[in-house]
A and B are shown apart, each in its own frame.
Chain A
Amino acid sequence: MLYLFAALYPECKSLIRHYSLKKDTNHPRFQIFYNEAAGIRLILTGVGNIKAAAAVSSICTEYPVGEEDYLINIGTCALLSDREAVLPEGIFLCNKITEQTTGRTFYPDILYRHSFKEAEILTGAVPFTTEKDEVAGIEMSVGESRGSEAGYERNPCRLYDMEAAAIYQAGAYFFGPHRMMFLKVVSDSGCTDAVTPEVVERKMEANLDALTAYLDFLRGIEAPVALKAEKEEKREAQVRQLCQDLHCSKTMEATVTQHTCYWSLAGIDYQAAVREFYADGKLPCIDKREGKRCFEEIKRKLL
Chain B
Amino acid sequence: MKKLSENYYNSAFSHIYVEKAVREHPRTKQILAGFPKAWVIEIDHYKDMFCRRGQDYGKQHQAQSLILAAKQGKLLYEGAPVCQSFGNPYFYYTSCMMNCIYDCEYCYLKGMYPSGNLVVFVNLEDIFDEIEKVLREHDVYVCVSYDTDLMAFEGVTGYTEAWVQFAERCGRENGVGKNNLTLEIRTKSANYSFFQTVQPSSHVVYAFTLSPQEVIDAYEHHTPSLKQRLAAAAEALSRGFLVRLCFDPMIYCVGWQQCYERMLEQVAEQIDLKQLLDVSVGSFRVSQDYLKKMRKNAPDSAVVQFPYENDKGVYHYPKELTNQMESYLLKRLKEYLPEEKIFLWEKEEN
Chain A residues near B (Cβ < 8 Å):
95-96, 105, 107, 109-115, 118, 120, 143-144, 150-155, 172, 175-178, 209-210, 213-214, 217, 221, 255, 258-259, 261-262, 265-268, 303
Contacts and interface: CB of A to CB of B under 8 A. Distances in A.
Interface in B1-41: 1-2, 4-5, 7-10, 14-15, 17, 20, 23-24, 29, 32, 39-41
B21 to A, nearest CB: 12
Contacts of B24: 150
Nearest to A112: B8
Contacts of B301: 265
Contacts of A259: 307
B300 interface: yes
Contact of B10 (A113, A120, A209): A113
Contact of B52 (A107, A150, A303): A107
Nearest to A142: B42
8 contacts: A110-B15, A155-B41, A175-B54, A178-B60, A221-B8, A265-B302, A266-B254, A267-B302
A39 B62 CA distance: 25
Contacts of B4: 113-115, 213-214, 217
A289 B320 CA distance: 23
A115 B2 contact: yes
A262 B105 CA distance: 14
A262 B32 contact: no
A267 B300 CA distance: 12
Contacts of A154: 40-42
Given A150-B24, A172-B53, 4 more contacts: A110-B39, A152-B29, A175-B54, A258-B307
Contacts of B56: 176, 178
B40 A153 contact: yes
Contact of B49 (A107, A120, A178, A265): A107
B54 A118 contact: no
A265 B305 contact: yes
B1 A265 contact: no
Interface of B: 1-2, 4-5, 7-10, 14-15, 17, 20, 23-24, 29, 32, 39-44, 48-49, 52-56, 59-60, 62-63, 65, 253-254, 300-302, 305-307, 318, 321
* Chain B contact residues, majority secondary structure: loop
Contacts of B52: 107, 177
A151 B40 CA distance: 11
Contacts of A107: 17, 41, 43, 48-49, 52
B303 to A, nearest CB: 9
B58 to A, nearest CB: 10
A101 B11 CA distance: 35
Contact of A144 (B9, B42, B48): B42
Contact of B54 (A105, A111, A176, A266): A176
B14 A110 contact: yes
B309 to A, nearest CB: 10
A136 B78 CA distance: 49
B9 A112 contact: yes
A110 B54 contact: no
Nearest to B35: A152
B307 A210 contact: no
Contact of B307 (A151, A214, A262): A262
A155 B39 CA distance: 7
B5 A113 contact: yes
A160 B29 CA distance: 29
Contacts of A213: 1, 4
Contact of A262 (B14, B42, B44, B306): B306
A111 B59 contact: yes
A176 B318 CA distance: 35
Contacts of A110: 10, 14-15, 39, 65
Given A155-B41, A209-B1, A261 B9 contact: no
A113 B9 contact: yes
B254 A152 contact: no
B10 A210 contact: no
B29 A95 contact: no
A113 B54 contact: no
A275 to B, nearest CB: 20
A266 B53 CA distance: 31
B60 A95 contact: no
Contacts of A266: 253-254, 302, 306
Nearest to B52: A177
A265 B48 contact: no
A111 B10 contact: yes
A255 B318 CA distance: 13
Contacts of A214: 4
A268 B254 contact: yes
Closest 10 CB pairs of A and B: A176-B54, A265-B302, A266-B302, A210-B1, A115-B2, A111-B63, A258-B307, A217-B4, A150-B23, A262-B305
A96 B20 CA distance: 14
A100 B52 CA distance: 20
B146 to A, nearest CB: 26
A265 B295 CA distance: 13
A120 to B, nearest CB: 7
A247 B301 CA distance: 28
A205 B89 CA distance: 69
Contacts of B307: 255, 258-259, 262
Contacts of A155: 39-41
Nearest to B50: A107
Contacts of A258: 305, 307
A109 B54 CA distance: 11
Contact of A177 (B39, B40, B54): B54
B302 A109 contact: no
Contacts of B20: 143
Nearest to A93: B39
A49 B212 CA distance: 56
